[in-house]
Structure 1
């Protein structure tokens, strides 16, 4: 069976690595937190002392990391231990230019890079039903696809450039975040004006353009459940990457910058570790501020 490595055992990485174990793979895993590695070792994974040890024991190395600079640092540590023919698959939400730069650097040593961010959140990572948006050579994807199927239902090849998957993930997040804030404000305004939120949500759910924010997220907020498994700090980071991507391509996103400001204010008040579900409460306080 393919030798697999996994670096980054956080909210998304741990359940994805657990799905590899459940599918019969024997991953070598690493995280800066010893307890995260030990939790996977207790389930049968091989714990590594550093990222180099992961590279020495794997032909496919998955990265699930919090930001592009962290990805660059980890790849710099990985590089001396990588062998020709291996594949580095970055599952993180990153910048296309960062992924393409890493791919150019590692190509010198015969190593392929796939930029393969995911969507589906913690529930999808746990259930193995994620969608993966892959940029990179199709031959490298063919090598990795059977392994990815352990944690993903849909694996979509976006294009031959390693940064193509990152670009699509940023654009997908843009639409999702705009919908999230617009739908949240709409429901809060409806409640403030005296509308029952339940039939309002039924109407909003009937509009195909809305979908996820009204059918999944907002009912939980109305019921007081705010843990959606995605920190405000990560949301703000993704929006920063998005607006930078727009600027890099001479396409300033006016609405994107407005959404980034709103999330930034919420993060300043609530803290970067607050679940992004708390943003609804922050918007509620803004809308009802004159009622206090």
Structure 2
């Protein structure tokens, strides 16, 4: 097997998740090149990690594997495709590992377009948030049509992950991520609703969180989010309201496309959409303030 240091890996998207993820790749010894739409961020992260800064996207063509961590699947597509042609002169056999929370249908479409040029796309979205990105313990959901590409992708993502789940064909990883975030959003909305009612009835919010976490109402949100970010009012979980709303909407469209009646998903989508319209690009935990009336 080729050693890590001889495998040229590009990382595109150096935001709150992308920066710690790229740090773990650098620590694994890959020949890493980093790029962000913000040139100053590119230079800063590259200097911090001691890796190459790629300011011109065309220079990513030198990479064997390209990892993307971007806001939407439309942005992912725009990085690599322009009017049906390659936006970057990628070599045949290049593997793109999209770790963004992308739309599964758009991922499949982008994969087909890239395949015409011999470029292989793997979807590998993540769960775990900024803390687990920093620890290198993310859960990764990987979909791929090409086994060789999937094996190479798994080798590259391994330093960022605690577990890699092979979900099936291209797009299934993105579908799983959207459905996961719908479930997480539903838990956050339900817990918010319970805390708002409990406070109005005279219950102490922290006591409620403690009891939920020792009872059947426990969830990731009650365990890791509500104490510091709602009860203590930090509202700084690192997961933006526009992003979770986007993911929940993807889950809704997935279910609609399957002809399913999904009343819970519809309700959760509406609740987050209403909060987003009112609050804009804040941390997703601030949706609690909107639902409780505190932000009005």
TM-score (norm. length: structure 2): 0.90
State the alpha-carbon separation in 1 of the partners of residues 112 and 87 from structure 2: 12
Gaps of 5+ in 2: none
Name the residue aligned to 2:209.
201
Query: Structure 2 CA distance, aligned partners of 1:218 and 1:34?
Result: 36
1:110-125 matches, cutoff 5 A: 110-125=118-133
Q: Give 1:107 deviation, angstroms.
A: 1.9
1:267 matched to 2:276? The reply is: yes
Number of residue-to-residue matches in the alignment: 285
48, 57, 64: which is aligned to 1:51? Answer: 57
TM alignment of 1:131-210, pairs within 5 A: 131-136=139-144, 137-159=146-168, 161-207=169-215, 210=218
CA contact (8 A) 1:8 1:31 kept: yes
Please state how far the C-alpha of 1:80 moved relative to its aligned partner: 4.6
Alignment of 1:56-75 (within 5 A): 56-75=61-80
1:239 aligned onto 2:262:
no
Q: Look up the match of 1:251.
A: 260
- Write the distance in 2 (CA, Å) between the matches of 1:236 and 1:143: 32
CA contact (8 A) 1:16 1:151 kept: yes
| Contact kept in structure 2, 1:26 and 1:44, CA below 8 Å | no
**Contact 1:133/1:155, CA 8 A, preserved across alignment:** yes
Deviation at 1:68, TM superposition (A): 1.7
CA shift in 2, pair 1:195/1:245, >3 Å? same
TM-score for the superposition, normalised by structure 1: 0.91
- Provide Cα deviations, 1:91-115, integer angstroms capped at 9, x if missing partner: 0111111111122122223222111
Quote the Cα distance in structure 2 between the aligned partners of 1:18 and 1:80: 24
SS at match of 2:31: coil
Task: Say what the alpha-carbon RMSD is for the aligned residues.
Answer: 1.9
Cα distance change of structure 1 residues 205 and 100 upon mapping to structure 2, 3 Å threshold: same
For the structure 1 residues 139 and 209, does the alpha-carbon distance in structure 2 shift closer, same or farther, using more than 3 Å as the test?
farther
Instruction: Work out the CA distance in 1 between the residues paired with 2:196 and 2:25.
Output: 41
Give 1:100's match in structure 2, choosing from 100, 104, 108: 108
Q: Which moved more, 1:228-237 or 1:243-252?
A: 243-252
Of residues 22, 40, 48 in structure 1, which corresponds to 2:45? 40
Which deviations, in whole Å up to 9, do the C-alpha atoms of 1:126-184 show, x marking residues without a partner?
1111111000033322112222122111111111x110101111111111100100011
* 1:270 Cα deviation after fit: 1.5
Q: What is the rounded CA distance, in whole Å, between the counterparts of 1:188 and 1:254 in structure 2?
A: 22
Structure 1, unpaired ranges of 5+: none
- Superposed CA deviations along residues 211-250 of structure 1, whole A, max 9, x for unmatched, are 2111111112111221010111112211222222122222
CA distance in 2, matches of 1:79, 1:155: 30
